[in-house]
Amino acid sequence: MASGNVEKLELSFSAVPDKPKKDWVLLSLRVLAFLATASATLVMALNKQTKNFVVATIGTTPITVSITAKFHHTPAFIFFVIANGVASLHNLVMIGVDILGPRFDYKGLRFVLIAILDMMNLVLASAGDGAATFMSELGRNGNTHARWDKICDKFESYCNRGGAALIASFIAIILLLITTVMSISKLKPKN
Amino acid sequence: MESITKARKICHLLLRFLAFGATLSAVIVMATSHEKASVLVFQFEAKYTNTPAFKYFVIANSLVTVYGFLVLFLPPESFLWRLAVATDLVFTMLLVSSISAALAIAQVGKKGNSHAAWLPICNSVPKFCNQVTGALVAGAIAMIIYMILLLNSIHRVLDPLILRKC
């Protein structure tokens, strides 16, 4: 009977470990973060406004010049679009990895890689955010000390759309922060 | 074994001290940057308080300096290191966004923006521009060190009895 017990113990140790429960909270957070970063990228990338300005008047005919405001006029917004694009790609890949499950695991390295990549993603997204926030603040208020005029009074909808993209990006950063903390807490120490 | 863990602890402490020094120097260099110049008949002074981006840079780096100073005194085996991972993450994020914002505004100051009719100002105040550049470099070094520290914290969480070199 003792040998039977030992056999049973051995069997239970060598059995396949039960599948870890799927973490729906983390998955839904990643989906939301993907939606937020993708929408921030799209809204900023399609941000364009053309306006006609009357420059001079010769006789009775006014001379109009049409000026366009696009996102790629400023390197800060270019970086914003690139950073949020990379972040949404990363979220997509992570959702795929979560759904496909532990099939692509190699000695438990998966969780470490996910945590490190999540951290780098967070850093990139917050960098893009910081630059775009202060650049749009400059566009909205101008800077009297450097004699830089504000441009938001002339290009209202451009500024508003940029602001909407920024808000989406802020929400994405908060979600990414929670996601990163959760992925780091999933790491277990080897005992 | 004893000597390797001791070397690892010293290495970690050294990294934290370097990060503290980098953020402190970024704050000092940015805060002491000011230059007076006269363009045509205007007399204007370039200070870091002219732009909210530079103010944010100084505030964020001072916060991280205070945090770095406090963390230096945390005993190595305390259970608070798990919390330190989360706070490290938040402060690294703060550092990165502050340096990115200051870099964006400094780029406009150096090159201007032809589409918005913003002229560069670095020609009139070159000393101010150089000092801001120096502060940004210090901030970048601090950011890199904090990212290395983040990886180190993850390493610690994974293997509390780590026997490898840092």
Look at residue A188 in the predicted model and tell me its pLDDT: 65
Report yes or no: A147 at the B interface, CB cutoff 8 Å: yes
Yes or no, beta carbons of A139 and B159 under 8 Å apart:
no
C-alpha–C-alpha distance, residues A86 and A123, integer Å: 12
Placement of tokens 């941000």 in the chain: A47
A70-74, A77-81, B40-44, B161-165 — which one is most confidently predicted on average? A77-81
Question: Residue B50 belongs to what H/E stretch?
Answer: none
Cβ proximity of B54 and B105 under 8 Å: yes
Measured in degrees and rounded to the nearest 5, phi and psi for residue B15 equal -60, -45
Write out chain B residues lying below 8 Å of A188, CB-based.
Answer: 158
Alpha-carbon distances, residue A69 vs A40, A84, A186, B135 (angstroms): 18, 20, 45, 32
Report yes or no: A26 at the B interface, CB cutoff 8 Å: no
Yes or no, beta carbons of B104 and A116 under 8 Å apart:
no
Question: Residue A187 belongs to what H/E stretch?
Answer: none
C-alpha–C-alpha distance, residues A99 and B125, integer Å: 56
A28-45 average pLDDT score: 92
Number of domains, chain A: 1
Yes or no, beta carbons of A143 and B51 under 8 Å apart:
yes
Look at residue B162 in the predicted model and tell me its pLDDT: 46
Count of A–B CB contacts within 8 Å? Answer: 112
Look at residue A150 in the predicted model and tell me its pLDDT: 84
Report yes or no: A174 at the B interface, CB cutoff 8 Å: no
Look at residue A99 in the predicted model and tell me its pLDDT: 83
Tell me how close the Cα of A5 comes to any Cα of chain B, in angstroms.
Answer: 34
C-alpha–C-alpha distance, residues A82 and A191, integer Å: 41
Helical packing angle, B81-111 and A75-100, nearest 10° = 150
* Total Cβ atoms within 10 A of residue B87: 14
Q: How high is the ipTM of this complex?
A: 0.84
Question: Residue B32 belongs to what H/E stretch?
Answer: none
A1 pLDDT above the threshold of 60: no
Yes or no, beta carbons of A76 and B44 under 8 Å apart:
no
A57-71 average pLDDT score: 80
Yes or no, beta carbons of B97 and A126 under 8 Å apart:
yes
B45: amino acid identity, one letter: E
Domain membership of residue A78 (yes or no) is yes
Tell which wins on pLDDT, B141 or A10: B141
Q: What is the pLDDT of residues A13-25, one digit of tens each?
A: 544 454 556 678 8
Domain membership of residue A103 (yes or no) is yes
Give the range of the structural domain holding residue A48, as residue numbers without chain letter: 23-185
Average pLDDT, chain A: 82
Alpha-carbon distances, residue B98 vs A103, B60, B70, B88, B105 (angstroms): 40, 7, 21, 15, 11
Report yes or no: A79 at the B interface, CB cutoff 8 Å: yes
Domain membership of residue A1 (yes or no) is no
Confidence at A111, pLDDT banded by 50, 70, 90? confident
For A143, which DSSP code? Answer: B
Write out chain A residues lying below 8 Å of B158, CB-based.
Answer: 112, 187-190
Yes or no, beta carbons of A145 and B108 under 8 Å apart:
no
Tell me how close the Cα of A94 comes to any Cα of chain B, in angstroms.
Answer: 19
Length of chain A: 191
Cβ proximity of A159 and A13 under 8 Å: no
* Domain spans, chain B: 1-73+81-165
Look at residue B11 in the predicted model and tell me its pLDDT: 85
Among candidate residues B53, B48, B26, B7, the one with its CA nearest the CA of residue B144 = B26
C-alpha–C-alpha distance, residues B48 and A107, integer Å: 51
Length of chain B: 166
Report yes or no: B105 at the A interface, CB cutoff 8 Å: yes
Cβ proximity of B23 and B65 under 8 Å: yes
Look at residue A170 in the predicted model and tell me its pLDDT: 94
Q: What is the pLDDT of residues A121-146, one digit of tens each?
A: 999 999 999 999 999 998 888 888 87
A38-66 average pLDDT score: 83
Placement of tokens 């775009």 in the chain: A132
Among candidate residues A142, A141, A189, the one with its CA nearest the CA of residue B117 = A142
pLDDT by residue for chain B (166 residues), tens digit each? 567 678 878 888 899 999 999 999 999 999 888 888 777 767 778 888 888 999 999 999 999 999 999 888 877 666 777 788 888 889 999 999 999 999 999 998 888 888 877 888 888 888 888 999 999 999 999 999 999 988 888 777 776 644 344 4
* Total Cβ atoms within 10 A of residue B59: 13
Instruction: Determine the distance from the C-alpha atom of residue A80 to the mean position of all C-alpha atoms in its chain, rounded to a whole number.
Output: 9
Look at residue B21 in the predicted model and tell me its pLDDT: 93
Look at residue B49 in the predicted model and tell me its pLDDT: 86
* Total Cβ atoms within 10 A of residue A163: 16
Domain membership of residue A40 (yes or no) is yes
